[in-house]
Amino acid sequence: MNSNLTFTIPLSSAAHQIALEYYKQHDRAPKAKQVYLNTLAVYAVNTYLGYFGIETDLQGSDSQNIVLQMLSDCADIHVKDWGKLECRPVLYDSVNCYIPPEVWGDRKGYIAVQFDRELKEAKLLGFLPEIKESEISCDRWQSLEQLLEKVGESIELSKEKVGEPILSQNIGKVKAKLSHWLQGAIDLGWQNLEELYPSQQLELAFRFRGKVNGSPAKKMSVERGKYLNLQRAEEQIAILVGLAPTTNSEMDISVEIYPANTQSYLPQDLQLMILDEDEGTIMQANARGTDRLQVKFSGEVGDCFNVKLALGDFSLMEFFEI
């Protein structure tokens, strides 16, 4: 792949129930298994697209038609204002992704979806805009960001034609689903801290000791991070977000900002703000030449908040849902 960025989707019992219903419609075991895996792949990609506010017509897709399931090996999703996206399943021990020639013609793109051994998770390995061979190595798939760019461009062109306002920032305003992190999911652009700091031991301040139903929340905390470029070319920072459950529905959240690369301190005038969904300021911290900014707060599953970083006239925001 051109990028090592992948995206992991938990496969819930609801996902398996959907796949099982289609499985039962086919008498031949090989076809039933094929349909089951295709359905899980479609579920994972449809969930992924939903994170980015990309509309799909799942029921209008070939993969949901029992007759077409029987006649072909299809695992497509119809993406509105774009076209068909093929979601190809890959077993946990496979090094190649198989794409049947029958789906080469009318697809706008292809995603490789690899399952773990227990079919509890689906990892989106990457994207390709076209296919010219039936087997493609799992390390040859391109970044998922290319898919988002192509879909975003197509949606904007479609809205221009009908005179609708262009929401060019919709795909950029992706809400990271924090509670999904506890299930192993990694939102696009985020990384585990071991990947973010492969040669550093970062002393994290947000090692919570919450309780779940009166018992210590053993190793339930999870952290993710990413690098952000500020307006000034030489200034890059790392944002680290951690969460840990304190009850069945409430989470402790920590947001930390660190200097990146060879910098020892944050920019003097950097501000960190926590905003509610209506962009009202809840909390604020100023760098003033320190080597770290940190804020902590609590929220319930389903709550939304934004993290705003401001540096002079420049600002950027990251969007979250607990």
Global pTM value: 0.55
Q: Which residue has the higher pLDDT, 263 or 249?
A: 249
Q: What is the pLDDT of residues 105-127, one digit of tens each?
A: 889 999 999 999 999 999 999 99
Are 177 and 187 in contact, with CB atoms under 8 Å apart? yes
Q: Which residues have a Cβ under 8 Å from the Cβ of 208 and sit 6 or more positions away?
A: 217, 221, 242, 244, 246, 252, 254
Q: Give the CB-side neighbour count of residue 199, counting CA atoms within 13 A.
A: 2
Rounded CA gap, 295 and 285, in Å?
7
As a whole number of Å, the end-to-end CA separation of the chain is 31
Rounded CA gap, 180 and 271, in Å?
28
Neighbours of 300 (CB within 10 A): 12
Q: What is the mean pLDDT of residues 63-88?
A: 94
Please name the residue ranges forming H helices in 52-184. Answer: 66-71, 144-162, 178-181
Q: Among 209-213, 234-238, 272-276, where is mean pLDDT lowest? A: 209-213
Map out the domains of the chain as residue ranges: 7-162, 175-321
Q: Give the CB-side neighbour count of residue 82, counting CA atoms within 13 A.
A: 28
Cα 214 → chain centroid: 32
Q: Which residues have a Cβ under 8 Å from the Cβ of 103 and sit 6 or more positions away?
A: 72, 73, 74, 75, 76, 86
Q: What is the pLDDT of residues 128-183, one digit of tens each?
A: 999 999 999 999 999 888 888 888 777 666 555 544 443 333 444 678 889 888 87
